[in-house]
């Protein structure tokens, strides 16, 4: 029998945690721990090793962004982690929770390694589907989030990119796929645009993530904009539901 999916809830509002716990439990998802602030969340992740963390952004003591950075830190980038700490051996997927879809922390949260972004008024069905989606390695990337990334880079300008990631390892076709992916196209739409089978598109996406050392589709979009592969005015995100890699 398959083990139940394990989730940690991090939110400073008891009622929010209670509501989410009931929703997830009703769908067979096991809430293994709760945290009222970022410090408690980091400690609880180390103690319980959940599959997915639902992380509020605004919390006392340590906010959700810093907690996410600490949880998802890698050995080569421990400067944001307290001295003496070691990376988590089996990193969970982190879904950021917020009250506003244009929260000013969206970009920072995704850059910190979060695999998705949900509003707190999400429907029960969407919440459970989101948790299961990120657990399989996919990313929650709604068109609104893609547009948020576009707006961020429109404000910064192409010459202020902070991440210099080498795209030379990608083939011309992979660069094309990455560019279209960054505009918000789903795998099905990519297949139609490029006259390829959807399975072939999925293979291209998987290879892009592997070559660039990326966790998921969210990070691929960030890289496409930060490297200048796609400019803020290159096109709007496709108007569609949340997509999976």
Beta strand 93-98 with 116-119: parallel, antiparallel or unpaired? parallel
Which phi and psi (to 5°) does residue 55 adopt?
-115, 120
Q: Are 66 and 58 in contact (CB under 8 A)?
A: no
Cα–Cα distance for residue pair 3/183, rounded to 1 Å: 36
The Cα angle at residue 46 between residues 111 and 49, in degrees rounded to 5: 85
Cα–Cα distance for residue pair 219/161, rounded to 1 Å: 15
Cα-Cα end-to-end distance for the chain: 26
DSSP code, position 127: H
Cα–Cα distance for residue pair 158/225, rounded to 1 Å: 8
Q: Are 54 and 131 in contact (CB under 8 A)?
A: yes
| Residue 2 CB burial class (10 angstroms; 0-12, 13-18, ≥19) | exposed
Query: What's the mean pLDDT when you consider all of the chain?
Result: 78
pLDDT digits (tens, 9 = 90+) for 12-52: 999 999 999 999 999 999 999 999 999 999 999 999 999 99
pLDDT digits (tens, 9 = 90+) for 194-220: 999 989 998 999 999 899 988 777 778
Q: Are 140 and 95 in contact (CB under 8 A)?
A: yes
Q: What is the pLDDT of residue 2?
A: 65
| Residue 5 CB burial class (10 angstroms; 0-12, 13-18, ≥19) | buried
pLDDT digits (tens, 9 = 90+) for 160-190: 444 446 788 999 999 999 999 887 777 888 8
Which phi and psi (to 5°) does residue 118 adopt?
-130, 145
pLDDT digits (tens, 9 = 90+) for 83-95: 445 445 468 999 9
Q: What is the pLDDT of residue 67?
A: 95
Domains detected in the chain:
6-140 (3.40.50.2300), 159-226 (1.10.10.10)
Cβ neighbours for 172, distance < 8 A, ≥ 6 positions apart: none
Q: Are 95 and 115 in contact (CB under 8 A)?
A: yes
pTM, two decimal places: 0.66
């Amino acid at each position: 029998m398959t083990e139940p999916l394990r989730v940690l809830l991090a939110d400073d509002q008891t009622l929010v945690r209670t509501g989410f716990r009931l929703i997830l439990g009703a769908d067979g998802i096991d809430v293994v721990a709760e945290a009222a602030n970022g410090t408690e969340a980091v400690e609880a992740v180390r103690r319980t090793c959940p599959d997915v963390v639902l992380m509020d952004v605004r919390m006392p003591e340590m906010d959700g962004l810093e907690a996410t950075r600490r949880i998802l830190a890698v050995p080569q980038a421990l400067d944001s982690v307290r001295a003496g700490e070691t990376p988590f051996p089996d990193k969970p997927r982190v879904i950021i929770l917020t009250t506003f879809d244009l929260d000013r922390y969206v970009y920072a949260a995704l850059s910190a390694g979060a695999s998705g972004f949900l509003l707190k008024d999400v429907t029960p069905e969407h919440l459970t589907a989101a948790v299961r989606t990120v657990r399989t390695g996919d990313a929650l990337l709604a068109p609104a989030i893609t547009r948020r990334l576009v707006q961020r880079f429109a404000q910064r300008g192409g010459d202020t990119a902070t991440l210099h990631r080498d795209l030379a390892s990608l083939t011309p076709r992979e660069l094309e796929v990455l560019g279209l992916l960054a505009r918000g196209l789903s795998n099905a739409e990519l297949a139609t645009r490029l006259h390829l089978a959807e399975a072939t598109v999925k293979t291209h996406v998987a290879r892009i993530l592997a070559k660039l050392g990326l966790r998921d589709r969210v990070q691929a979009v960030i890289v496409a904009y930060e490297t200048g592969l796609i400019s803020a005015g290159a096109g709007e995100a496709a108007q569609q539901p949340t997509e999976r890699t």
